[in-house]
Amino acid sequence: VRIHPGWPGAETTYVNADAAVVTVTVEVGAAPHRPVGPLASTGADLDVLVVWALALIVVGVATLLLARIRLENPHA
């Protein structure tokens, strides 16, 4: 956007104003900390997702460990 103000002339001095415009756009509901995909509709924050993911990993690892223990000691 370029503005060319008028100039005070040699014979008259005056105040002038020229204007231009800049479009401003904002996206709502798609902030980067919002999850995308199936959980998006819950509005859960990314940090909540991280906690859930960690919890799932812990549960998964624990399940695997339990399964391995049961395999090694089927009578335990």
Please tell me whether residue 19 binds another protein under the rule CB under 8 A. yes
Structure tokens, 35: 């999850």
Please tell me whether residue 36 binds another protein under the rule CB under 8 A. no
C-alpha span between 53 and 59 (Å, rounded): 10
CB of 65 to another protein, least distance (A): 40
Please tell me whether residue 47 binds another protein under the rule CB under 8 A. no
Please tell me whether residue 75 binds another protein under the rule CB under 8 A. no
CB of 39 to another protein, least distance (A): 15
CA distances (Å), 49 to each of 21, 35, 56, 73, in order? 41, 8, 10, 36
